[in-house]
Chains A and B, each alone.
Chain A
Amino acid sequence: MKKYVLKRILYMLFVLLVVTTITYFLMHCIPGDPLTALVQKLPEQTKANYYAKYGLDKPVWEQFLLFLKGIFTEGTLGESIRYPGRQVLDVLKKYSVSSGQIGVTAVAIGFLLGIMLGVVSALKRNKLPDKLISLIAILGVSIPVFVVASVLQFVFTVKIPILPTMGWGSPKHMVLPILCMSLSPLATYTRYMRSSVLDVVNQDYITMAEAKGMSFGMIVRRHILRNSILPSLTILGPNVADVFCGSFIIESIFSIPGLGGYYITAVTDRDFPMIIGSTMFYTGIYILALLIVDILYVVIDPRIRLSETK
């Protein structure tokens, strides 16, 4: 097990390096640089000084090597070009808190509720609860997050003004964004869970457990949940990243100072160190989520553990 995790972590670092390299060179292929994004007429000498200060006059591969050196020797991701004095790492730390709070809560709510609804829906198959839940699930899958956000904002500003629809600070501000963001994961997990529970309920071991006289609650917890949760776990990893990407929109609609909005600004400003820093951050979280899911997999399903040690 330890060896497996270690191997996965090494592989993860390798992927992160590859992704960083690709992004770095892609980024420098984007037409325009931080100066052109400023749209100011500057004398040639000023421009040259500016490029020299940030090392933009060097060839791209040399800049890349310097960037890597910065990470490994000083543990820094560089300094924002657009806002001199802001360290990329500090910005990431500062802005990722709000993004993380919303994102993690949203995924957690979506996952837990989705699992529950999926199980209920499958056990009450073709009855009223199933039909209602399926309706919610299909709406959740197919309505874009910004539509939901706009509708919620409209309702809570104009019709029932009990929750703030903008800004950040108190727990009250988090309710609507989290509601919006958890809808799509909730729907996805419900759909996955419903179909995998339907697969499991007809298995022999469920009949066996019933025959042994096991209580219904025990059967659900011990046998049905454990065996049907795997497909949902598989998509949990990618889902975390999706939610972070979805935060681009949610954060701008609800005016939350988060990383998503900052990322888009960095991209339009061509703020190279910020772009590469946030990309590494997002990719890191994504890969980490995949790793955690892989480990959970082994913990939950003994069959996988067996084939691993063989």
Chain B
Amino acid sequence: MENKNLKDEQFRIVGCDDVEGERLGRPQTTYWKDAWRRLRQNHLAMFAMVLLLVIIFLTIFGPAISGYSYEKMSADMNQTPSLKHWFGTDSLGRDLFARVWAGGRVSIIIGVVGAVITTVIGCIYGSISAFAGGRTDSVMMRIVEIISSIPYLIVVILLSLMLDDSGIGSILLALCIVGWCPTARLVRGQILQLANAEYVTAAKTLGVSNWKIITRHMLPNTMSVVIVNLTFRIPGYIFSESFLSYVGLGIKTPDTSWGMLAAGAQGSMFFYPYQLLFPALMIGLTMLSFTLFGDGLRDALDPKLRR
């Protein structure tokens, strides 16, 4: 078959020799780089992350920016938001902008630290239980079962009363004493599941040492689940703290937190709605951002679960 339009040189092999075939097409990525790339593509999660960073920045520097002390009273009582007081003032003439961010400090510290501590305890407990197996495992899991049969908030209320001094420390302790149970269960389940995974069996067959299996397979695969769980727990702790402070069993004056600010503003809600609006908005925004960010992180770290 003869075709005038096709010339021989069009059929030359261009740039495909054996050496080129071995070249890596793109730079190798690690698991975490890959996850970060996926996370960056999720606009909602990135937006939540930026929002969180802004909120955290303001809780650190907000009181200083406002130029007022969060506990100093003045004669300007119940002022509506203005250029002088950005969020207005409360019934004792304290600047609400300073108070909201000072309270945010307490709320966020409790949320983050509480979640980190319970996650660490849960990881240790869960992995010991999974590795020990047998009777130790079942006794340890029975203990978890009994602890989680007590309604969570009731324990927290009783403990926070018992520890009495109502600082951040005692509330954290009360939240942490019972909070580690779900994480322990999660980690135990994950490790047991991994121990039976094909690639772990394969690694064992190939003679990989136990230590290397733990660091190479167990840890990275558990990490993603644990980190996602951590992100979802933080809003839970922020809520628990605000709940406790709201019913008057948490942080006590002169310290403040979002829950306390909201509780304080509840009574005069019909006259000064802005006093309730700002702390409530901050609690809502923070919890929303953590939830959205957690969703994004789960999708990024575990593409199998992607919806």
Please list the residues of chain A having a beta carbon within 8 angstroms of any beta carbon in chain B: 15, 18-19, 22-23, 26-27, 29-31, 125, 138-139, 141-144, 146-147, 150-151, 153-154, 157-158, 194-195, 198, 241-242, 244-245, 248-249, 252-253, 264, 267-268, 275, 279, 282-283, 286-287, 290
Q: Across the interface, name the chain B residue whose C-beta is closest to A184.
A: B239
- Mask, B123-151, CB within 8 Å of A = 1, is 00000000000000000000001100111
Interchain CB contact under 8 A, A158 and B247: no
Interchain CB contact under 8 A, A144 and B284: yes
Choose one: A30, A150, A198, A253; the contact of B280 (CB below 8 Å). A150
Give Cα A31–Cα B246 distance, bound, in whole angstroms: 21
Interchain CB contact under 8 A, B270 and A158: yes
Interchain CB contact under 8 A, B270 and A144: no
B86 contacts the other chain (CB 8 A): no
Q: Across the interface, name the chain A residue whose C-beta is closest to B235.
A: A142
Give Cα A259–Cα B262 distance, bound, in whole angstroms: 23
A-B residue pair count with CB separations less than 8 angstroms: 112
Choose one: B152, B158, B287; the contact of A245 (CB below 8 Å). B152
B249 contacts the other chain (CB 8 A): yes
- The stretch that binds A, out of B7-15, B21-29, B159-167, is B159-167
- 22 A-B pairs within 8 Å (CB atoms) are namely A19-B149, A19-B150, A23-B158, A26-B162, A30-B158, A142-B284, A142-B288, A143-B287, A144-B284, A144-B287, A146-B266, A150-B276, A154-B269, A154-B273, A244-B151, A249-B246, A249-B247, A252-B247, A264-B247, A267-B157, A279-B154, A283-B149
Interchain CB contact under 8 A, B149 and A143: no
Please list the residues of chain B having a beta carbon within 8 angstroms of any beta carbon in chain A: 145-146, 149-154, 157-159, 161-162, 164, 235, 239, 242-243, 246-249, 262-263, 266, 269-270, 273, 276, 280, 283-284, 287-288, 290-292, 295, 307
Give Cα A268–Cα B249 distance, bound, in whole angstroms: 9
Interface of A is mostly: helix
Give Cα A23–Cα B150 distance, bound, in whole angstroms: 9
Give Cα A146–Cα B247 distance, bound, in whole angstroms: 11
Give Cα A157–Cα B273 distance, bound, in whole angstroms: 13
Interchain CB contact under 8 A, B151 and A286: yes
Choose one: A18, A27, A248; the contact of B158 (CB below 8 Å). A27
Give Cα A252–Cα B246 distance, bound, in whole angstroms: 10
Give Cα A185–Cα B85 distance, bound, in whole angstroms: 38
Interchain CB contact under 8 A, B288 and A146: no
Hey, which chain A residues are within 8 Å of B290, CB to CB?
142
Hey, which chain B residues are within 8 Å of A154, CB to CB?
269-270, 273
Choose one: A144, A153, A242; the contact of B242 (CB below 8 Å). A144
